[in-house]
Amino acid sequence: MSYHSGFIAIVGRPNVGKSTLLNALIGKKVAITSDKPQTTRHRISGLITHEDYQMIFVDTPGMHKGKDLLNQTIDKIAVSSLKDVDVVLFVVDKLMGKAEAHIMRYFENIKVPVFLVINKIDQLASKNEIDELILSYMGRHPFEGYYPISAKDKTYLEKLKDGLISYLPEGPQFYPDTMDSDQSETTLMAEFIREKILHLTEQEVPHSVAVVIERLEENKKNKTLDVDALIIVERSSQKKILIGQQGQKIKEIGMLARKEINYELKKKIHLLLWIKIKKDWRNRESDLKAYGVGDF
Ligand SMILES: Nc1nc2c(ncn2[C@@H]2O[C@H](COP(=O)(O)OP(=O)(O)OP(=O)(O)O)[C@@H](O)[C@H]2O)c(=O)[nH]1
Ligand SMILES: [Mg+2]
């Protein structure tokens, strides 16, 4: 039997559960998630490799019309991800509205099969509600299939995977069996730290934060990795919030990030967090690049 392989883009509005779905599909945390919109800021690939096929899922930032350069850049990444893929998973979690209609306009220009993935069905009261939701999208685009799932509870993911198999073209195994994502350990560390900040802060702070790993050094004596991470914020008020009373907040962020890195990457680390104010970094292309926003 011939080998099949294909690229599958995961797109949709912010916060619908695209990254949760990617992690659930590949069975590993390669994308951070949070209840704040615009969590994902760059393209993230995750792999399922089977003896007969390889699926390369591409998680994308939530599509929306943003005002600053950061948001315009992440929107562009999502839109450009629609090109050169074999299947698109359009993830939704509510009835069709303006934002969804806006995204669906991009589908008109591509000749790629689109699956409608209705996520968070654990929150829907009845099958009727699911049907109603599907009906609001039907007829708006010739979808290849309708897949109600819960990414959080990992329900009906097998059905979705089975549905995808027949859409994979004949092709080589692009990546080795041992690889499950294209994210480097350094990127994942920075992202896990950012995730804890997203979880522990509110309002404008999550969107004003970027994280970069500045130093990563093996400490042979302690058998740990010494990691220095820099947290970038836009204003001194945000720095104050991140530090918290008597440094409690930054301590908590550090502790949770260290635990997560230890659990997910099986790395014992000694983590030092630094905070720097950089005004308006979200509107500077060079800063966006330096802070891992965009394609890299
Ligand atoms: N109840 C429920 N919540 C879910 C489900 N899937 C995701 N969530 C929650 O929805 C929120 C957003 O999830 P993400 O995976 O970060 O969403 P996203 O679409 O990647 O968001 P962006 O990266 O900002 O575009 C998080 O709080 C998740 O825990 C689900 O199946 N059921
Ligand atoms: Mg995401």
Q: Which of 16, 58, 122, 133 has most ligand 1 atoms within 8 Å of its beta carbon, as the pocket-test mutant?
A: 16
Which pLDDT band, with edges at 50, 70 and 90, does 78 fall under? Answer: confident
21, 10 contact by CB (below 8 A): yes
185-290 to CATH, choices 2.60.40.10, 3.40.50.300, 3.30.300.20, 1.20.1440.120: 3.30.300.20
pLDDT band at 140 (very low <50, low <70, confident <90, very high): very high
Joined together, the tokens standing for residue 258 give 């260290």
Residue given tokens 């708006």 in the structure block: 140
Which residues crowd ion ligand 2, with CB under 5 Å? 18-19, 39-40
- The bound ligand whose nearest atom lies closest to the alpha carbon of 34 is 1
pLDDT-based confidence at residue 296 (cuts at 50, 70, 90): very low
- Rounded to whole angstroms, the Cα distance separating 202 from 35 reads 10
Non-local (6+) Cβ contacts of 262 within 8 A are: 268, 269
For the stretch 5-49, pLDDT in tens is 999 999 999 999 999 999 999 999 999 999 999 999 999 999 999
The CATH number of the domain covering residues in 4-165: 3.40.50.300
Report domain extents, the chain: 4-165, 185-290
pTM tops 0.85, yes or no:
yes
Q: Compute, in angstroms, the gap from residue 36 CA to the centroid of ligand 1.
A: 9
CA distances for 9 relative to 33, 56, 83, 156, 182, angstroms: 17, 8, 9, 19, 14
Q: Relative to the CA of 37, which ligand 1 atom is closest?
A: 24
Q: What is the distance of C-alpha 177 from the center of its chain?
A: 22
d(CA 175, CA 208): 35
- CA–CA separation, 69 vs 217, rounded Å? 33
196-240 pLDDT, tens digit per residue, is 999 999 999 999 999 999 999 999 998 999 999 999 999 999 999
Q: How far is CA 27 from CA 32, 47, 48, 60, 183, in A?
A: 13, 10, 9, 18, 15
